[in-house]
Amino acid sequence: MFRWGVLSTAKIGREQLLPAIVDSENGVLSAIASRDLSKAKALGERFGARHAFGSYEELLASPDVDGVYIPLPTSQHVEWT
């Protein structure tokens, strides 16, 4: 199973990506990070994430994440990639 990490609580994640991960047969939602831990926890609980982090750095350092989806404002894609 591929263990996804998602950087932020963005609309595209809430409405499209997270439901698709939950429905998939070969992936699990391992972690969600937000600049606001309470937002990460709330969204994580809704989609069954194993971890919620209050910073993007913590998610990137997690050994429980195989790959990261980056639904940040476009101007931040290069930095976080």
Ligand X SMILES: NC(=O)c1ccc[n+]([C@@H]2O[C@H](COP(=O)([O-])OP(=O)(O)OC[C@H]3O[C@@H](n4cnc5c(N)ncnc54)[C@H](OP(=O)(O)O)[C@@H]3O)[C@@H](O)[C@H]2O)c1
Q: Which residues bind ligand X (CB under 6 A)?
A: 8-12, 34-36, 39, 71-74
Residue 27 or 71 having the CB closest to ligand X: 71
- For ligand X, the closer CB: 25 or 81: 81
The CB-of-9 to ligand X minimum distance in angstroms stands at 4
> Minimum Å distance from CB 20 to ligand X?
13
Tokens standing for 21?
A: 């991960």
For residue 52, the minimal CB distance to ligand X (Å) is 11
Residues in a beta bridge with 53: 33
